[in-house]
Amino acid sequence: MKFRRLLLVLLLVGGFWFVTTHLPEGLGRFGLRNAGGSGSPLSLTEAQAAPAFDAEEQNNIAVYKKALPSVVNITSTAMTFNFFYGQVPQQGQGSGFILDKAGHVLTNFHVIADANRIEVMTSDKHHYKATIVGSDKVHDLALLQISAPNLQPVTLSDSSELVVGQKVYAIGNPFGLSGTMTRGIISSIRSIRGPEGAPIEDAIQTDAAINPGNSGGPLLNSRGEVIGINTLIASNGVEQSSGIGFAIPINTAKAVLGDLTKYGRVRRPSLGIVSLAISPDLADQMGLPAESGVLVQKVIPGGAGDRAGLHGGEQQAYLGNMQITLGGDLIVAIDGHQITDTADIATIMEKHQPGETINVTIYRGRKKLVLKLTLGENREVNT
């Protein structure tokens, strides 16, 4: 009897094992199949063809395909000191873009500042050592060069006729994510201060997402042409996009590329003077004949101002804790453009080269004069 019971149990267990492992469809007939679901077959609806892109998507794709082969990632390595005063390498990342088949690459100065080694990775993932051809700290620009085959240069546009509201694209290496494209519009055209504090005239403000690593990369129009160099974000202390980014207009870069290639630096014009901006309050206190202007405190011997006959001051005085010199010429206009402070002079100098002649309108005492001045080269004097 016991043997029969054991044999019956073995047959039941063996049968259950066989049904559950070898006959799933048969198991369903006993109501055990898909106990947690409906038991009905799954039916999917699939597209019969690749999706058609609308006009906006097609333009996005076209811009990306055109510009991506010209955009590079830049890794700069600088030596710093650790807690124990030992030298350790520190890496920074940015972006750039290829200007010509000779391998010239444009980027931001702050991307490669203090670098001991610079490496460029092209869009095909090849790595090349880069050399610095020239740099412009004032405009936050740097020109590099690599030796690489089959380079595809960008197309440079004209940034003088940009309009608020026009569509723009940024391609670069944000947070090390190479080949990233973002899109937005031109939010404004305004003058700002660059990383070194120097003014950037007609900077392009955009809401296209720009993040750390985008610096030096191109800002493009809807035809995939470069209109600017992405350089700054307004982050309020948070190192990520806040929808307010800035790009250096490409025309600013065009104006200095010749000097960078030829001299390795930018030759900037100078009046050859040390100057002081005069506000209406100061003008009233000093008894000056104009409400504002730039006071010539000192004329650099042998400089442009000295050759033109500008006069510096001789009377020492204090403006707060700062010592100044009074009695010099008061510059009120250059080539007919009113001068109210040194920023006005800097703006005018951006449009000139050393060796060009300008007309400087001054007050010498109460007498108004116009002097012809041939611009010298800036040697780190005040103006």
| Residue indicated by tokens 């444009």 | 106
- The one-letter code for the residue type at 203 is A
Q: Is 187 a catalytic residue?
A: no
Find the catalytic residue in 70, 95, 104, 110. 110
- Distance from C-alpha of 179 to C-alpha of 195, rounded to nearest angstrom: 25
Q: Check if 40 is active-site.
A: no
Using CA atoms, how far residue 71 sits from 2, 170, 224, 232, 376, in Å, is 84, 10, 12, 18, 37
Identity of residue 375: L
Active-site residue among 70, 95, 215, 275? 215
Distance CA 17, CA 353 (A): 93
C-alpha 115 chain-centroid distance: 18
Cβ atoms within 10 Å of 256's Cβ, excluding its own: 20
Terminal alpha carbon distance of the chain: 117
Query: What token pair was written down for 104?
Result: 């010239």
Cα–Cα distance list, 299 to 59, 116, 274, 313, 338 (Å): 56, 39, 6, 9, 21
Which of 95, 136, 140, 241 is catalytic? The answer is 140
Q: Which residues are catalytic?
A: 110, 140, 215
